[in-house]
Amino acid sequence: MMLSISNRITASIVTGAFFAAPMIYLFGTKDFAGYYALLQNSGPLVQRAVTFAKLNLAFCFSFHFWASIRHFVWDTGKGYSTEQLYQTGYALLAATLLTTAGLMCL
């Protein structure tokens, strides 16, 4: 149950982020070099906040991606036994952590 509601929550977060990014571009200064320089020259607290935001977005994207794959498998009528639910749940969490770690390395 928690993974199902988490899938919906992460979908909302990812949708919000992918909606906000073009809006910032559309209504912003369109000076990406300036934004990048601002972040590079900011203090360590701002850089940690950016890393934390990147971690959250990477986790939400990864979790929603893998949970959606799991849901597509359910749409085929497979994976409904309690044992399979737990196995795919643990696989979902492991894949999420690995994918998040990979995205954080970018």
| Number of other CB atoms surrounding residue 92 within 10 Å | 20
Q: Is 71 annotated as a binding residue?
A: no
Give CA–CA dist 34/11, Å, rounded. Answer: 30
Q: According to DSSP H, which parts of the chain are helical?
A: 2-27, 32-41, 44-75, 82-104
Tell how far CA 52 is from the center of its chain.
12
Is the torsion defined by CA of 54, 57, 61, 63 positive or negative? positive
The binding site consists of: 64
The binding site for heme consists of: 64
